[in-house]
Amino acid sequence: MAYHSVNPYDGAAGKAYPELSSPQLEDAMVRAEACFASWSATSFRHRAAVAAKAAYILRERIDEFSRPVTMEMGKLIAQSRAEVVLSADILDYYAANGERFLAPQTLTPSSGKAEVESSPLGVLFGVQPWNFPYYQLARFAAPNLMAGNVVMVKHAGCVPQCALAFERLWLDAGAPAGAYTNLFISYDQVNQVIDDDRIKGVALTGSVEAGRIVAGRAGRSLKKSTMELGGSDAFIVLEDADLDKTVAWAMWAKMNNTGQCCVAAKRLIVVDALADRFLAKFKEGMGALMPGDPMRAATTLGPLSTELALIHLLAQVRQAVAGGATLIMGGRRIDRAGSFMQPTILTDIAPGNPAYREEFFGPVALFFRVKDEDEAVALANDSEFGLGGSIFTSDVARGRRLASRIETGMVFVNHPTWTAPELPFGGIKHSGYGRELSSAGIQEFVNRKLVRVSSIDAPA
């Protein structure tokens, strides 16, 4: 079966769920379309009450929601709990601000009156990944449900219990059946859903390859889409950075969620004056990580999400070394049960090495030393990806100047790339297009309609 829980800590098989039959999928589509007719007619106040209730439930039942995240994809339990809270924050944010974000915008034409009003598009389809099983759903569902759309979601096959828990959350919060629909469907059925005339927009968070397929399919039907397709974020360290604090942030930026994060610090780019000391301290930090049961607070290194993810990452490291990279530490599977990989550092990565262009999704850091800030910016921009990036320096004005030169959708100064409900999230280049979160996220799938009122007097 395509939807199957397997605990990556010990390989124990959990629950499996069958894919929907064609009649079951059609029933879900009919229910969603019918729900849109009523949900879109409800008041913002009513939708906000449902979203706020869902946020309340997440916080009140935090252990119930966080446990499946750890059991299905191996996230450290403290991080799973933090994800539940972040998801609740997103729901609360749109409950509090959705109506304001979509309020009519008054324009001032040369004559008459005009305004832009926002109205929902209809049934939306989202394809979502496993690495943040609730956060990814929250940032898609919350703004769009508040806008009056309804959503259908195909979640990743390895986190089915999380998928079902989030669907049940909305029902428990008082949303009508069909407002939020989880779909256990095949790849062929994904294409069927995208092609269906009842679907008015498509959102994907996933790989570049998946993005090409889904965006291309949506484009054939002239449907609006948004794509968040991963990244290879640069973590730039200038010579005037606070070394100890910057290394601590580098560890967090690289190893949060065991490195399985679109905005993880995948490329550490350090000015030569600080490079040796930075690398020594960073290596020490990586070496101190302790693998173990992610349900235990003492564990600081969790497993990769699946055995296939581990196999793929190990192959990437082998290919990088074969291409001339130097393995500073790690690079192998940890000799224990579960899908654990040694924390790994690669350096001496030349432009011709496949590792120079690839995204490493796990506990593998790519280390680059550069001459100065100009070389750091050039290296950061020499990537097909353009999601996020960060710059560490004691001179904030300098950091802001360099941030303007980085070709990504997000740049942080003295903090790793991260997320918050009020901050727009998204990238450029092969990292995709469109924005989620903030006021921008709720504007992606609405009709911004111009209404112009003029004098009825005909021209002479």
Mean pLDDT by 10 residues, the chain (460 residues): 92 96 98 98 98 99 98 98 98 98 96 96 98 98 98 98 98 98 98 98 97 98 97 98 98 98 98 98 98 98 98 98 98 98 98 98 98 98 98 98 98 98 98 98 98 85
The type of residue at 189 is: Q
pTM of the model: 0.98
Q: Which residue(s) pair with 390 in the sheet?
A: 235, 412
Look up 262 and say whether it is catalytic.
Answer: yes
Lookup: tokens for 168: 């049940």
Q: Which one is catalytic: 261, 262, 373, 436?
A: 262
How far is the C-alpha of 384 from the C-alpha of 229, rounded, in Å? 11
**Residue 269 carries which DSSP code?**
E
Q: Which residues contact 235 (CB under 8 A, 6 or more apart)?
A: 250, 253, 254, 265, 267, 268, 269, 389, 390, 392, 416
Taking a C-beta distance cutoff of 8 angstroms, is the pair 88, 58 a contact?
yes
Taking a C-beta distance cutoff of 8 angstroms, is the pair 339, 8 a contact?
yes
Domains recognised in the chain with CATH numbers: 3-229+431-450 (3.40.605.10), 233-413 (3.40.309.10)
Backbone dihedral angles phi then psi of residue 25, each to the nearest 5 degrees: -65, -40
How far is the C-alpha of 275 from the C-alpha of 269, rounded, in Å? 9
How far is the C-alpha of 195 from the C-alpha of 198, rounded, in Å? 9
Backbone dihedral angles phi then psi of residue 29, each to the nearest 5 degrees: -65, -45
Question: Is beta strand 385-386 parallel, antiparallel or unpaired with respect to 428-429?
Answer: antiparallel
Taking a C-beta distance cutoff of 8 angstroms, is the pair 410, 262 a contact?
no
Look up 284 and say whether it is catalytic.
Answer: no
Taking a C-beta distance cutoff of 8 angstroms, is the pair 151, 126 a contact?
yes
Lookup: tokens for 255: 């190893």
* Alpha carbon separation from 345 to 31, 279, 307, 428 (Å, rounded): 50, 9, 21, 27
Q: Which one is catalytic: 228, 373, 436, 444?
A: 228
pLDDT at 2: 86
